[in-house]
Amino acid sequence: DAGVIQSPRHEVTEMGQEVTLRCKPISGHDYLFWYRQTMMRGLELLIYFNNNVPIDDSGMPEDRFSAKMPNASFSTLKIQPSEPRDSAVYFCASRRTGPYGYTFGSGTRLTVV
Amino acid sequence: AQSVTQPDIHITVSEGASLELRCNYSYGATPYLFWYVQSPGQGLQLLLKYFSGDTLVQGIKGFEAEFKRSQSSFNLRKPSVHWSDAAEYFCAVGTSSNTGKLIFGQGTTLQVKP
C-alpha cells in the first residue's frame, strides 16, 4: 500500500495565481479530508468527503478555496486567487468507516509570495 | 462542539527518562481519541487510538495512553524516551467511528536531551 499520496510536495507561487493541490487516498477508504497546518492556527480541518460527496466544508476559509472529489481515487484543493496568507502545509488524509485511524499524506508546503 | 487542549506546548526530557504528555478533551458523548506524531517536514503518523473497551491502549514505538472519562483526559506515556522520539505530538478527538471530523489539539513539541 503506497499510503496517501499528495502532489506536489512543495509549491511556490505568486500572489494572484491559481494553485491546485492533489491527493490520492488509500484504495478502499471512503473518507477523505483536507487539513491546513500553520504555526498560528495549528491543524485546521478544511473540508471532508464521504464516498466522494462533500459532507462538511465549514472550515474552508473563503470562496477562494474549493475542493472536488470526482472519483474515489482523486481529490483536488484549489485556491484562486492565492494570497500570501494562504502559505501553509496542506495535508490530505483518508480513512475507512469503522474504528480505524486516519492516514495522512506527507503534505504540500505552499508558499505564496 | 468538541475541542482538545494540550496544556504543554513544549516539553524537554532526558533520554531514558519517562514521559507523559497531557491531553484534555471536551465532548458531551463518548469520544474517539487519537495520538499522532509528526517529525519535522513529515506527515502525521498514528501512534494509538481509543474507541471503546480497555481504557489503557498500547500503541507503536512503546507508547501507551489511558482514557479517563472522569477527568476528560487521554494522556500519552512512555516509560523510557529515546532520542528518536523528539517530534511534535498531537492529540485528537473524533465524534464517532462512522463520521468524519477529527479535531486536533495545538500539539506538544518534545525535545530529548542526551
pLDDT in tens, A12-48: 999 999 999 999 999 999 999 999 999 998 999 999 9
At A4, the pLDDT band (50, 70, 90 cuts) reads very high
Contact A23, A108 (CB under 8 A): no
At A91, which amino acid appears?
F
Q: How far apart are the C-alpha atoms of A93 and B107, rounded to whole Å?
A: 18
Identify the pLDDT of residue B102. 84
Contact B88, B107 (CB under 8 A): yes
Q: How far apart are the C-alpha atoms of A46 and A60, rounded to whole Å?
A: 5
Residue pLDDT, tens place only, B7-66 = 999 999 999 999 999 999 988 777 889 999 999 888 899 999 998 888 999 999 999 999
Identify the pLDDT of residue B77. 98
At A67, the pLDDT band (50, 70, 90 cuts) reads very high
CB-based burial label for B34 (10 Å; 0-12, 13-18, 19+):
buried
Distance of CA A50 to the CA centre of its chain: 14
| Residue contact B107–A42, C-beta within 8 A | yes
By C-alpha distance, the chain B residue nearest A49 is B100
Res. A99: pLDDT tops 80:
no
Share of chain A above pLDDT 70, in %: 99
| Residue contact B100–A33, C-beta within 8 A | yes
Q: How far apart are the C-alpha atoms of A1 and B53, rounded to whole Å?
A: 29
Q: How far apart are the C-alpha atoms of A28 and A33, rounded to whole Å?
A: 15
Interface test with A, best of B6, B37, B44, B96 (most A CBs within 10 A): B44
Nearest to A56 among B97, B100, B106 (CB): B100
Order of strands, sheet of A5-7, starting from the edge strand that comes earlier in the sequence: A5-7, A19-24, A74-79, A65-71
Cα separations in angstroms, B94 against A101, B31, B48, B52, B103: 10, 6, 13, 13, 6
At A69, the pLDDT band (50, 70, 90 cuts) reads very high
Contact A20, A77 (CB under 8 A): yes
| Residue contact A101–B42, C-beta within 8 A | no
